[in-house]
């Protein structure tokens, strides 16, 4: 009996030894896996947050391992049972929702290819200064095209003025033909300067809404440019205002955004469909809050 | 060179006044075209700057247009300089012949 009992005990011991070895192997494998996944996790974090996040990630991966090694097997099994199902918080960080998934406004719009449009949805090939690698331009706004009505008739009138009045009025009769010619050229150059200035002012005064922030690019004059930005989560209040007959007819107005950023107020002047812009900004705000709750932080 | 002044009295003659006025006008034209060329150059700079700020599909076309505009402005300046200078020279020659 005793040799049989001895052999059974030795078998138990041997099986226990094998279990322990298997556990050790598991621990080794899991340690190597966590060190391999670290760069990928760090890459998911934006460069600005890299310094802050890299240290805690390492602590998370290393410190539980050390503690884990000294736990009995039964406790380890219990711990494994209590662990949440995949994907975890880290897994969720890799999944970014597409703008169409959470924005009803974008779902009903197709990307705008017209470069002169005032309401540009997800412009293909457009980028802006200091844009992050994963940041997407969702909406680009300019002043409504109707705003150009102010300067286009003036320009046309200035163009036809010499043709209409020079032959009638004998103002420059004392000048030679060369002087007359250069006076005419000078006039048209001035008109073109006015038109170019007005067009550039309209074209480069833009408001960009990305999935991370709002950017206001102001082309104030030929010598002055101003770029202001605020993160979406800094937005506190959005107001749309439509005033005037033409604003009502052509559906344009001002969108005022109060923020907690350095620039307290952003004003998108005379942009088309101000109600839609406000709705879109609210959708972005909601998504930003949802991201925070779910831990999908960019 | 005809200064436009009568030799004895120092009073400006009609032809001289005309010549002075045309010279002044010529300088004004050239200064205007020069300022316009500087403005055209500023437009190139600004278009490049704004294109770097916000890149669009229309950006290269705008830049090309601004360069063409600058070249036209410089062309007009050069043309004005040579054309008006030649005119002024021929006018001076006529004046000097008249004074003789």
Give the tens place of pLDDT for each residue, A237-283. Answer: 999 999 889 999 999 999 999 998 887 889 999 999 999 999 999 99
Q: What are the backbone angles phi and psi of residue B45, rounded to the nearest 5°?
A: -60, -45
The residue segments making up the domain with residue B56 are: 32-99
Dihedral sign for Cα atoms in the order A186, A188, A194, A195: negative
Least confident of A6-15, A105-114, A130-139, A152-161: A6-15
Q: DSSP secondary-structure letter at B12?
A: B
Identify the residue with better confidence: A297 or B46: B46
> Would you state the pLDDT for residue A24?
61
**Residue of B31, B48, B53, B61 best to disrupt the A interface, most CBs of A under 10 A:** B53
B90 interfacial to chain A (CB closer than 8 Å): no
pLDDT surpassing 80 at residue A153: yes
Kindly indicate the confidence band of residue A162, based on its pLDDT and cuts at 50, 70 and 90: confident
User: Is A214 found in the same domain as A281?
Assistant: yes
Question: In terms of Cα–Cα distance, which of B30, B31, B17 is closest to B84?
Answer: B30
Number of domains in chain B: 1
User: Is A60 found in the same domain as A25?
Assistant: yes
Rg of chain A's alpha carbons, rounded to an integer? Answer: 33
Find the residue in B nearest to A221 (Cα): B46
Asked if the Cβ–Cβ distance from A200 to B47 is below 8 Å, we say yes
Find the residue in B nearest to A184 (Cα): B29
pLDDT surpassing 90 at residue B37: yes
Least confident of A5-14, B15-24, B77-86: A5-14
B39 interfacial to chain A (CB closer than 8 Å): yes
User: Is A20 found in the same domain as A77?
Assistant: yes
Number of domains in chain A: 3
**Residue A57 Cα, gap to closest chain B Cα (Å):** 36
User: Is A117 found in the same domain as A229?
Assistant: yes
Q: How many CB atoms lie within 10 A of CB A82?
A: 7
Question: In terms of Cα–Cα distance, which of B78, B48, B53 is closest to B65?
Answer: B48
Mean pLDDT along residues A9-19: 61
pLDDT digits (tens, 9 = 90+) for A33-88: 444 443 433 444 444 444 443 334 334 444 444 444 444 444 544 554 454 444 44
Residues of A with CB under 8 A from a CB of B: 113, 115-116, 123-129, 175-176, 178-179, 182-183, 185-186, 189-190, 192-193, 196, 200, 203-204, 206, 208, 217, 219, 222-223, 225, 227
User: Is A153 found in the same domain as A33?
Assistant: no
Distances (CA, A) of A264 to A205, A212, A282: 19, 17, 18
A207 strand-pairing partners? A141, A216
Rounded distance, CA A87 to CA A243, Å? 50
**Residue of B18, B33, B35, B46 best to disrupt the A interface, most CBs of A under 10 A:** B46
Rounded distance, CA A141 to CA A269, Å? 9
> With contacts defined as CB-CB under 8 Å, which chain A residues touch B43?
196, 200, 222
Residue B89 belongs to a domain: yes
> Would you state the pLDDT for residue A88?
45
- ipTM, 2 decimals? 0.75
Asked if the Cβ–Cβ distance from B43 to A222 is below 8 Å, we say yes
The residue segments making up the domain with residue A225 are: 99-143+205-294
Residue B24 belongs to a domain: no
User: Is A260 found in the same domain as A116?
Assistant: yes
B16 close to B4: Cβ distance less than 8 angstroms: yes
> With contacts defined as CB-CB under 8 Å, which chain A residues touch B29?
179, 182-183, 186
Asked if the Cβ–Cβ distance from A179 to B29 is below 8 Å, we say yes
> Would you state the pLDDT for residue A134?
84
Considering only the beta carbons, identify the residue of A179, A217, A222 that sits closest to B25. A179
Residue B55 belongs to a domain: yes
> With contacts defined as CB-CB under 8 Å, which chain B residues touch A196?
43, 69
Q: Is A113 exposed, middle or buried (0-12, 13-18, 19+ CB in 10 A)?
A: exposed
> Would you state the pLDDT for residue B88?
58
Distances (CA, A) of B77 to A92, A165, A186, B31, B83: 64, 25, 10, 9, 10
Residue B23 belongs to a domain: no
A268 close to A277: Cβ distance less than 8 angstroms: yes
Query: Where residue A245 sits, what CATH number does that domain have?
Result: 2.30.29.30
The whole-chain average pLDDT of chain A stands at 74
**Residue A241 Cα, gap to closest chain B Cα (Å):** 27
pTM of the entire predicted model: 0.67
User: Is A126 found in the same domain as A105?
Assistant: yes
Kindly indicate the confidence band of residue B14, based on its pLDDT and cuts at 50, 70 and 90: confident
User: Is A88 found in the same domain as A33?
Assistant: yes
Least confident of A45-49, A202-206, B5-9: A45-49
> Would you state the pLDDT for residue A131?
87
Least confident of A65-69, B5-9, B41-45: A65-69
Question: In terms of Cα–Cα distance, which of A261, A225, A265, A268 is closest to B53?
Answer: A225
Q: What are the backbone angles phi and psi of residue A122, rounded to the nearest 5°?
A: 40, 65
**Residue ending a domain, choose from A201, A221, A242:** A201
Residue B12 belongs to a domain: no
**Residue of B49, B56, B71 best to disrupt the A interface, most CBs of A under 10 A:** B56
Percent share of chain B, pLDDT over 90: 41
pLDDT surpassing 60 at residue A120: yes
Rounded distance, CA A284 to CA A99, Å? 9
User: Is A124 found in the same domain as A170?
Assistant: no
Identify the residue with better confidence: B12 or A54: B12
pLDDT surpassing 70 at residue A284: yes
Residue B74 belongs to a domain: yes
Residue B21 belongs to a domain: no
User: Is A175 found in the same domain as A35?
Assistant: no
How do A252-259 and B54-55 pair as beta strands? unpaired
**Residue ending a domain, choose from A72, A94, A116:** A94
Rounded distance, CA A162 to CA A180, Å? 11
B14 interfacial to chain A (CB closer than 8 Å): no
Dihedral sign for Cα atoms in the order B1, B3, B5, B10: negative
What sections of chain A are H helices per DSSP?
Answer: 2-44, 47-69, 73-82, 89-94, 99-102, 104-107, 152-165, 177-204, 245-250, 274-294
pLDDT surpassing 80 at residue A296: no
Q: What are the backbone angles phi and psi of residue A99, rounded to the nearest 5°?
A: -55, -35
What H or E segment, with its residue span, contains residue B79? helix B59-99
Structure tokens at A35: 């060190």
pLDDT surpassing 50 at residue A89: no
- Select, from the ranges A99-108, A123-132, A164-173, the one with the highest average predicted confidence (pLDDT): A123-132
A76 close to A68: Cβ distance less than 8 angstroms: yes
Asked if the Cβ–Cβ distance from A208 to B73 is below 8 Å, we say no
């Amino acid at each position: 009996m005793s040799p049989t009992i001895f052999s059974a005990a030795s078998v138990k011991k041997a099986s226990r030894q094998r279990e322990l070895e298997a556990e050790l192997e598991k621990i080794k494998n899991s340690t190597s896996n966590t060190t391999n996944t670290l760069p990928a996790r760090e890459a998911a974090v934006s460069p600005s947050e890299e310094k802050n996040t890299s240290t805690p990630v390492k602590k998370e991966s290393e410190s539980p391992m050390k503690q884990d090694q000294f736990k009995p097997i039964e406790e380890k099994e219990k711990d494994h049972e209590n662990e949440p199902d995949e994907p975890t918080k880290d897994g969720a960080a890799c999944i970014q929702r597409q703008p169409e998934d959470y924005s009803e406004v974008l779902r009903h719009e197709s990307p705008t290819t017209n470069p002169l449009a005032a309401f540009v949805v997800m412009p293909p090939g457009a980028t802006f200064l200091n844009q992050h690698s994963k940041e997407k331009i969702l909406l680009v706004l300019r002043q409504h095209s109707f705003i150009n009505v102010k300067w286009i008739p003036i320009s046309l009138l200035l163009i036809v003025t010499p043709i209409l009045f020079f032959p009638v009025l004998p103002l420059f009769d004392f000048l030679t033909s060369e002087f007359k010619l250069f006076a005419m050229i000078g006039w048209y150059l001035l008109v073109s300067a006015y038109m170019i200035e007005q067009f550039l002012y309209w074209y480069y005064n833009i408001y960009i809404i990305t999935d991370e922030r709002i950017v206001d690019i102001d082309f104030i004059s030929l010598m002055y440019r101003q770029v202001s930005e605020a993160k979406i989560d800094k937005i506190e209040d959005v107001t749309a205002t439509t005033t005037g007959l033409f604003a009502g007819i052509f559906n344009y107005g001002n969108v005022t955004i109060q923020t907690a950023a350095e620039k307290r107020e952003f004003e998108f002047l005379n942009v088309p469909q101000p109600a839609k812009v406000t709705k879109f900004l609210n959708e972005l705000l909601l998504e930003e809050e949802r991201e925070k709750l779910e831990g999908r932080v960019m | 060179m005809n200064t436009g002044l009568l030799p004895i009295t120092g009073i400006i003659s009609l032809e001289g006044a005309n010549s002075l006025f045309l010279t002044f006008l010529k300088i004004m034209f050239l200064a205007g075209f020069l300022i316009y060329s500087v403005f055209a150059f500023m437009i190139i700079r600004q278009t490049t700057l704004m294109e770097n700020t916000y890149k669009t599909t229309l950006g290269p076309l705008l830049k090309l247009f601004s360069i063409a505009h600058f070249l036209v402005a410089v062309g007009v300046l050069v043309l004005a300089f040579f054309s008006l200078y030649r005119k002024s020279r021929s006018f001076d020659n006529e004046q000097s012949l008249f004074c003789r």
